Amino acid sequence: MTDTLAEKTCTPCRGGVPPLTRDEAQRFQAHAPDWELGDDAHRIQRSFRCGNFRDALALVQEIGELAETEGHHPDISFGWGYVTVSLSTKKIKGLHENDFIMASKIDRVLDRSGRPVDRQQ
């Protein structure tokens, strides 16, 4: 499903749909195993270690470009040697399939880039 998720496009979420249940989120999370469920299964998060500040900034820029393309924007924090990405769908105050699509796309970008990024949780 990871490749399948990465091949999908995020669809606009206008609210009014329920967020994923914990069980549904866990099923999606099984296909994005490097991402951890947080906030009682209302968001997913992943952290990356980078070699320095410049590499962290470049990773943020790359994720930001992807987010603009998909129209689905994560919360990102970064500093010297680290980037943390957090995904949730604000309009429904929880997780949606779009969050896992973005997570899979971020993973795919990193795998294809050859960028020396250590994955950490």
Over the stretch 55-104, which tens digit does the pLDDT of each residue have?
999 999 999 999 999 999 999 999 999 999 999 999 999 999 999 999 99
Q: Return the higher-pLDDT residue of 3 and 7.
A: 7
pLDDT greater than 60 at residue 120: no
pLDDT reported for residue 2: 54
The predicted pLDDT at position 118 comes to 60
62 Cβ neighbours under 8 A, 6+ residues apart: 109, 113
What per-residue confidence (pLDDT) applies to 121?
A: 45
CA distance 62 to 67: 9
pTM of the entire structure?
A: 0.87
- pLDDT surpassing 90 at residue 116: no
| Residues contacting 45, CB < 8 A, separation 6+ | 35, 36, 38, 84, 85, 86, 87
